[in-house]
Structure 1
Amino acid sequence: MSGTTPAAASIGRSIAPVLAVMTLTLSLDQASKAWAWNTLRGAPGRVAGDGLVSFAFAFNPGAAFGLAASHPTAPLGFFVAASVGLGILIRLGLRAETPAMRVAAGLGAGGIAGNLIDRLIRNHPRRIDWLREATFADFLEHPTAIADAIASQHRYLDIPRHGVIDFVVVSYGPGRTWPAFNLADAAIVVALAWLVVQTISPPRHRVGRR
């Protein structure tokens, strides 16, 4: 006699595809970023095919496509927003009525998780002249490092900078390129578009009903 209730079994069937797609998306994203970190960092960019797509390392402390990268409260804001978004998508996947919406929820959750992990583990320091380039936020966030530089009479120091690895660059005209992005960004955009389409499209069982 099984101890699994119908409700628990239903939840298991709902969450399984969400977690599967999320895990696959997250794995591909992290593998591609590891490749970019080890291969493209400090190296010339690589052009694929006819030049429509190229690969060049970029470190992004901002949002997707480099938005709001210089705002002093950006890291905390992005972390909170990503955590909330991840929870919403997983909940949406649990409540989804169709396999397509579960796949979309898993795709978006995997993308958000990939960028969230980057913000926790990726540190690409920036070297600054503290006398000329340090911002008020730098003094608030790294007072010890700046104080040590002042005490040792060193003008330059490396400020820790956490962010996301971007490396895909798409050209859409002569000399025109879309801001660099990564697989997680692409997964999030595709997932959101997919969810919108699924939301506004009539369910199949209603099509043809009068």
Structure 2
Amino acid sequence: MKNFTAKQSGLRWLWLALLVFVLDISSKLLIMNIVEYGWENRIEVLAFFNLLYVHNYGAAFSFLSDAGGWQRWFFIAIALSISGVLVYWMRQIPASNKLLNIAYALVLGGAIGNLFNRLIHGYIVDFFDLFIGTSHWPAFNLADSAICVGVVLIVVESVFPSKKKASTTE
């Protein structure tokens, strides 16, 4: 892979990761200040969507949430590692590869948003509640959404690589 200057590389897209981080942390602080903690205090927004304020000590779908505390440091290490790899990859690809840079920036911003929560609170603040009837999707937040969208974009880019990417990685 070619090395690019910061201006020519995907590092130019770090502003998007910062925006995701700021929006995520701001939304979590807002929820913590306006919604009482717990599922019983959820606020109905639509027939299939509530706002609420809950803590997630685990990962996606509350994986390892009741593991006794060690998982906090495990998930912090994973988030730091993934963030480092994403910054490295962004440095290696041209800024013109918009789809891949957007994808990496979304994942990076989301990972850092959730990392911040783990470091400061010891848990992640979740507040979106989607459901059909009595079946609820696990609560999530903006960081989780950004990570999911970013991963989908990475998959799209890997299945349908952009021409710019192919021509610059000789």
- Indicate the structure (1 or 2) with the bigger Cα radius of gyration: 1
Alpha-carbon distance change, 22 to 47 in structure 1, aligned in 2, over 3 angstroms? same
Task: Say whether residues 1:82 and 2:69 are aligned partners.
Answer: no
Alpha-carbon distance change, 94 to 9 in structure 1, aligned in 2, over 3 angstroms? closer
> For the residues of structure 2 that align with 1:69 and 1:12, how far apart are their CA atoms?
41
- Match for 2:19 among 16, 21, 24? 24
Q: Alpha-carbon deviations, 1:64-94, whole Å to 9, x = none?
A: 2311101132111101111111111111222
Match of 1:180 in 2: 139
Alpha-carbon distance change, 92 to 8 in structure 1, aligned in 2, over 3 angstroms? closer
Match of 1:103 in 2: 102
CA shift, 1:14, in A, is: 1.7
RMSD of aligned C-alpha atoms?
2.0
Taking structure 1 as the reference length, the TM-score comes to: 0.70
| 8 Å CA contact retained: 1:169, 1:181 | yes
| 8 Å CA contact retained: 1:18, 1:90 | no
One-letter code aligned to 1:86: S
Match of 2:120 in 1: 121
Runs of 5+ consecutive residues of structure 1 not aligned to the other structure: 1-6, 123-161
- Match for 1:12 among 7, 11, 19? 7
| 8 Å CA contact retained: 1:63, 1:69 | yes
| 8 Å CA contact retained: 2:55, 2:123 | yes
Of 61-70 and 175-184, more deviation after overlay is shown by 61-70
Aligned-pair identity in percent equals: 27
Of 23-32 and 11-20, more deviation after overlay is shown by 11-20
Count, aligned residues: 159
Note the 1:156-167 alignment, pairs <5 A: 162-167=122-127
Match of 2:66 in 1: 70
> For the residues of structure 2 that align with 1:17 and 1:169, how far apart are their CA atoms?
34
- Which structure has more relative contact order (CA 8 Å, sep 6+)? It is 2
> For the residues of structure 2 that align with 1:85 and 1:16, how far apart are their CA atoms?
15
Task: Say whether residues 1:194 and 2:153 are aligned partners.
Answer: yes
